[in-house]
A = this chain, B = another copy of it.
Amino acid sequence: MITISIIGSGNVAQHLIQAFTKSENIRLLQVYSRTKNNVTHLLDLDCIVDDFENLLPVDLCIIAVSDDAIAKVAAQLPFKNTLVVHTSGAKSLDILNHDNRKGVFYPLQTFSKNKAIDFKTIPICLEATTIADMLLLKKVAHSISESVYEINSQQRKSLHVAAVFVCNFTNHLYQIGAEICKENELSFEILKPLIAETAQKVMTLSPQEAQTGPAKRNDAETIASHIHFLSHENQKNIYQLLTQSIIDNGKKL
């Protein structure tokens, strides 16, 4: 049985707590939360600590806090030579404290507090400094996910950037769609099947094959009428930049 502790009580921490609680091969010994109330709905009270000094020795300590707090938290851990990982896509392994063995346990997903998620499908991207530590991380990762990748820091950074495009920016485009609907007294519901199918398509086709629309067809008349239709400068700029990017992309082929 592998023992672990989790530091943090935000979105990622809460989803990890739920996943590890269900796992048979892992014993989630303790969770550190500055505010115990954040996680009392997920754990017995005697597993929750709000003082770093009360953290017990474990096989693996997972720091799941905001990027800016990782180094500060790592420096306060009361043990040495333990495998300590963070869950950030953006941060180097080196921001962890040198007293412990370092690693990264990065689940590539978008977590929201009020949205349940099946951890089994979430890719977990691992980094470690020794083969033994990588093996331990793989065991832990496989206990909650079917999709485990060993990737280096440069690849992790590229994934984090790619995730911003396909997740954060995509969601912002959904929001622009919702705004356009609202301004024209249409329900956002009407766009949902299209959003679902657009994502579904690239599960089996490449994005290149899946591309449709006026920019793909270089349909100048429709593009001009859309730009004229948009009343917000910001939406016009986004429309023009992405349209040009699709057109230029077509020329490269």
B109 to A207, Cβ gap below 8 A?
no
**Minimum C-beta distance from A218 to chain B (A):** 12
Interfacial residues of chain A within 158-207, with CB under 8 A of chain B in the complex: 158-178, 180-181, 183-186, 188, 190-207
In the complex, A225→B158 CA distance in Å?
11
Once the chains bind, are A169 and B173 in contact (CB under 8 Å)? yes
- Interface centre among A167, A181, A188, A210, by most chain B C-beta atoms within 10 angstroms, is A167
Q: How far, in whole Å, are A251 and B151 apart by their CA atoms in the complex?
A: 36
List residues of A (2-26) whose CB comes within 8 Å of B's CBs.
11
Q: Is the CB of B194 within 8 A of A108?
A: yes
Report if A214 contacts B (CB, 8 A): yes
| A90–B214 touching, CB < 8 Å | yes
Instruction: A197 to B193: give the CA distance in the assembly, Å.
Output: 14
Q: Return chain B residues, CB-CB under 8 Å to A207.
A: 171-172, 174-175, 177-178
Known contacts: A161-B226, A190-B149, A198-B110. The answer to whether A173 contacts B166 by CB under 8 A is yes
Q: Which of A30-38, A136-144, A232-240 touches B?
A: A232-240
Number of copies of this chain in the oligomer? 2
Closest to A108 in B: B194
Report which residue of A110, A125, A172, A211 has the largest number of chain B beta carbons within 10 angstroms of its beta carbon.
A172
A50 at the binding interface (Cβ < 8 Å) = no
Give the Cβ gap from A231 to chain B, nearest Cβ, in Å. 10
Say yes or no: is A49 at the interface (Cβ < 8 Å to chain B).
no
Interface of chain A, main secondary structure: helix
- Separation in Å of the A116 CB from the closest CB of chain B? 10
- A-B contacts besides A159-B181, A195-B202, 13 pairs, CB < 8 Å: A68-B219, A68-B221, A109-B194, A115-B205, A125-B190, A159-B190, A164-B213, A168-B214, A168-B216, A172-B211, A177-B207, A234-B245, A238-B241
Are A111 and B212 interface neighbours, CB within 8 A? yes
Across the interface, do A166 and B195 meet the contact criterion of CB distance under 8 Å? Answer: yes
A178 to chain B, nearest CB (A): 5
Q: Which of B115, B123, B181 contacts A190 (CB 8 A)?
A: B123
Q: A148 CA to B225 CA in the complex, in Å?
A: 26
A129 at the interface (CB under 8 A from B): no
Residue among A155, A211, A225 having the largest count of chain B Cβ atoms under 10 Å: A211
A196 B199 Cβ-Cβ under 8 A: yes
Is the C-beta of A112 less than 8 angstroms from some C-beta in chain B? Answer: yes
